[in-house]
Chains A and B, each alone.
Chain A
Amino acid sequence: QSPAPGFALDASKPIEITADSLEVLQQESRAIFSGKVDVVQGDIRLRTERLRVAYSGDPQSGGGQITELRAEGGVVVTSGREKATGATAHYDVAARTIRMTGDVVLSQDDTVIRGQELVIDLATGRSKLTGGSGGGRVRSVFTVPERGAKEQ
């Protein structure tokens, strides 16, 4: 029974995003945060070097939605004692999923799992780590707590 992060997005909490700079490109309906980007919503935090945001709709007509966030340049997602790091992350707002790729490391306390792709379902909090293409095996490292829990 290998632990995995229980990321659960609480959409009722405000989102706070800070970074060094932000550029909004209206015609392309997108924006780019750059430099020490830090996104916090409730218990979930995402830090990266560059965050691209795509949005749809037009605020003048009262519509407008963020459709996706794409983090590049190294990503760290944390939630309570769980942490996931990777090269990139893609947050699909409608599907409420985060997909991390590139040397993904999943850790919870001192249990570490490595793989190539991690998909986190923010609505249910479940996540799936796969070895990625080429059938690379997922390498898991477990520490056996004192009470001698069953080792995988």
Chain B
Amino acid sequence: MASAPARRPRLDGLAGAGGSARDARRYSRFVGVMRVALPLVALLLLAALTLWPVIGERIRALESARVMGEMNVPGDLMKMTRPSYSGADASGRRYALVADAAYPNGLDPTEVRLERLTATVTDPSGRTVTVDAVRGLYYPKLETLDLDGGVVVTSNDGTRVETGAATLDLAQGTIVAPGALAAEGPYGTLDAARARVSDEGRRLKFDGGVRLVINPVRGADAPTPASGPESRP
């Protein structure tokens, strides 16, 4: 999956002083996971593949976010305002990550706290996936990104996924949403108590109760009324 980016991506200070090829690969993996994950959810909606828990309301009542502990970045000595990172990879996928503010805990940070971040991925076909999160905590060494405080994923085909928190493991190519997840798309709606995307997006697992409502196919032809029972033993 590690397709080396065609051009060296411009790194504006998000992951430490000088941007490295390793960061570029990390972000292209992040992109890889996101690029594959969302179409799967759309496919999911399309393919009528969900279950619901007892009732939809119970899901909404569920405390969705695993609230991250109060993050303390020692001294807040470093703050970057409007850090942004953009790039493209070999397959022509463009991606950008912007945050209102980033607080790395040092020059070679092990932790970067992000406020109000938006990641956008556009693939050559023009399909765009955007992830908005209120807070993020990026662990460059672990290559994981914890999003929290409300995460909304939208794509330009009309699919929208909301959950409280999500953990992206860029190295493993997995996304885990520990809390309730609600998705909506042109095909219908999907609710689940938990979700996990793995294998670079090729495997999705929803459990704790899943509910899918699939809208009828537009212009579905209503069948001829049953013309009468007939049984030939």
Residues of A participating in the B interface, judged by any CB pair closer than 8 Å: 1-27, 31, 33, 35-38, 53, 55, 58-60, 62, 64, 66, 96, 113, 115, 122-131, 137-138, 140
Contact = CB atoms under 8 A, between A and B. Distances in A.
B161 to A, nearest CB: 14
Given A4-B229, A21-B207, A125 B223 contact: yes
B223 A122 contact: yes
A24 B44 contact: yes
B215 A18 contact: no
B40 A18 contact: no
A127 B220 CA distance: 22
B225 A8 contact: yes
Contacts of A125: 223, 225-227
Contacts, number: 180
Interface string B198-233: 000111111111111111110011111111111111
B157 to A, nearest CB: 8
Contacts of A3: 229, 231
B53 interface: yes
B51 A12 contact: no
A20 B223 CA distance: 31
Which residue of B203, B204, B229 has the most chain A CB atoms within 10 A of its CB atom?
Answer: B229
B223 A31 contact: no
A128 B47 contact: no
A6 B213 CA distance: 24
Contacts of A127: 229, 231
Given A21-B210, A37-B51, A64-B46, A115 B202 contact: no
B102 interface: no
B47 A53 contact: yes
B8 interface: no
A11 B214 CA distance: 11
Contacts of A122: 223
B45 to A, nearest CB: 8
